[in-house]
Amino acid sequence: MEGFFSIEARDPGSLARAGLIRTAHGTIPTPIFMPVGTRGTVKAVAPDDLESLGAKIVLANAYHLFLRPGPELISKLGGLHRFMGWKGPILTDSGGYQVFSLSALRKLSQEGVTFRSTYDGARVFLSPEIAVGAQVTFGVDILMCLDECAPYPAGREETEKSMGLTLGWARRSREAWGGRGGALFGIAQGGFYPDLRRRSAADIAALDFPGQAVGGLALGEPKEMTFEAIETARSELDPAKPMYLMGMGTPSDIIEGIKRGADMFDCVIPTRNARNGQLFTRRGKLNVLNARHKDDPGPPDEKCSCYCCRNFSRAYLRHLHQNREPLFLRLASLHNLHYYLDLVTGARESLLKGTFPCYCKEFYELQEPVD
RNA sequence: GUGGGUGUAGCUCAGAUUGGUUAGAGCGCCAGGUUGUGGCCCUGGAGGCCGUGGGUUCAAGUCCCAUUACCCACC
């Protein structure tokens, strides 16, 4: 994968860097945030919204799309890009997270994982080969290996066993991929045992994937543990390749992740929380459903230039939500995605200008103290 | 007018023909949470002259009488 990733600028005081990831559907400037579109749609927003927000890549989920509508249908309809009407790059998660999040509905074996479908209860088997095959069929730009994300807390033995399974699956995924289609990323696990984290990262790095992800983060552990795990993994991964922190995170998680060398992020927070009324502003979180906004004529964030903030009041947004109007979901999602994309774009620009430390400082200074 | 039914939280209703701590639920409301997503879900909180007035009783949302409002049926 010559020229897949290049680094344009580095912050001398940290591991932060700005780079470019080149794919068949476009070049992705990093650091980047990927809106989550699990089922081939970023909930409540259309592809043209994503485009005007400046989204450079979206994430979809192979497990969900595998179950419904299935790879054959997507292939028949021209691949996932065409199917979902998004022309830019797509990354698919393999379904590894579902091994964790749907743990009550699955049985694990060395060979793979058997799920009870969350749609109709049918038994579905997923292996590293099947997961890669599906992603290749989807025609996505970045594929993820099937992995197992150990829960938190987890015992040392359980964690070690889990990362072993993940490593075996990573080898098989790589074999099944064979360089076809997009770029396959390996996933380092290892829980919160520094030596296991280190080993998992080293083992994954040795497999020489085009990109590297760190999984098993933000499962409820204290922040210091999350950051330590990232640092530990980073020390063993290949710094010439993009590092993707899976499922991260809050705005400050992203800033802290960038400092620690991360290039890619995805998280459901901006879209999910938007649907529940929690909006992100420069000054911190804002629950626009709170009664105190009942007659507030101001936008969610005075300084925000998004479509929502330019045109609508907090009072109107609250009104929409109280009446369960679909427009609420769209406006709130647009705003939060704008915030997240703006956050990483700002970080990137500051890295290119050499002002990243100031950018971070300003980010924290603006946050209102939490009471 | 006569007979029957119903009045308990903002709404819909539980609270046995066994009277017994501080009267409950769902929804709504108020406030938190949400990290590789089902708009789901989770956690707290506020809110009651039990229609009104009398009576029986140590004790009444519960039993008795009256009264009032609404609903249904029949003149």
Q: Give the C-alpha separation, A4 to A325, whole Å.
A: 43
CB A67 within 8 A of CB A124: yes
Catalytic residue among A49, A253, A266, A342: A266
The pLDDT tens digits for A78-105 are 999 999 999 999 999 999 999 888 888 8
Tokens found for residue A220: 């409820």
The pLDDT tens digits for A251-274 are 999 999 999 999 999 999 999 999
- Provide the CA A289 to C1' B69 distance, Å, integer: 38
Q: Give the C-alpha separation, A66 to A71, whole Å.
A: 6
Tokens found for residue A16: 């932060």
DSSP string, A288-328: TTSGGGTT--S-S-TT--SHHHHH--HHHHHHHHHTT-HHH
Count CB atoms within 10 A of the CB of residue A155: 11
Please report the pLDDT score of residue A104 as a whole number: 83
Would you say residue A26 has pLDDT above 70?
A: yes
Catalytic residue among A93, A141, A147, A203: A93
What mean pLDDT is reported for chain A? Answer: 95
Interface confidence (ipTM) of the complex: 0.87
- Indicate the domain borders of chain A: 5-267, 277-366
DSSP string, A129-158: HHHHHHHHHHT-SEEE-------SS--HHH
Would you say residue A154 has pLDDT above 80?
A: yes
Using the CA of A247, give the nucleotide whose C1' is nearest.
B36
Q: Which of A195, A203, A72, A199 is nearest to A136 (CA)?
A: A72
The pLDDT tens digits for A108-140 are 999 999 988 888 888 889 999 999 999 999 999
Q: What percent of chain A has pLDDT over 70?
A: 99
Is A93 one of the annotated active-site residues of the chain? yes
- Provide the CA A334 to C1' B12 distance, Å, integer: 37
The pLDDT tens digits for A175-203 are 999 998 899 999 999 999 999 999 999 99
The pLDDT tens digits for A304-363 are 999 999 999 999 999 999 988 999 999 999 999 999 999 999 999 999 999 999 999 999
Q: Give the C-alpha separation, A215 to A155, whole Å.
A: 17
Is A266 one of the annotated active-site residues of the chain? yes
Burial (0-12, 13-18, 19+ Cβ within 10 Å), A282: middle
- Provide the CA A277 to C1' B50 distance, Å, integer: 37
Q: Give the C-alpha separation, A345 to A368, whole Å.
A: 22
Using the CA of A41, give the nucleotide whose C1' is nearest.
B37
- Provide the CA A291 to C1' B49 distance, Å, integer: 30
Q: Give the C-alpha separation, A331 to A94, whole Å.
A: 29
Please report the pLDDT score of residue A7 as a whole number: 98
Torsion of CA A127, A128, A130, A132, to 10 degrees: 160
CATH top-level class of A5-267:
alpha beta
Q: How far apart are the first and last CA of chain A?
A: 49
Paired residues of A213 in beta bridges: A187, A244
The pLDDT tens digits for A204-226 are 999 999 999 999 999 999 999 99
Torsion of CA A286, A292, A296, A299, to 10 degrees: 0
Please report the pLDDT score of residue A2 as a whole number: 74
* Chain B nucleotides with an atom closer than 7 Å to a protein C-beta: 28-41
Helix segments in A42-95, DSSP class H: 47-53, 62-67, 71-76, 79-84
Please report the pLDDT score of residue A105 as a whole number: 85
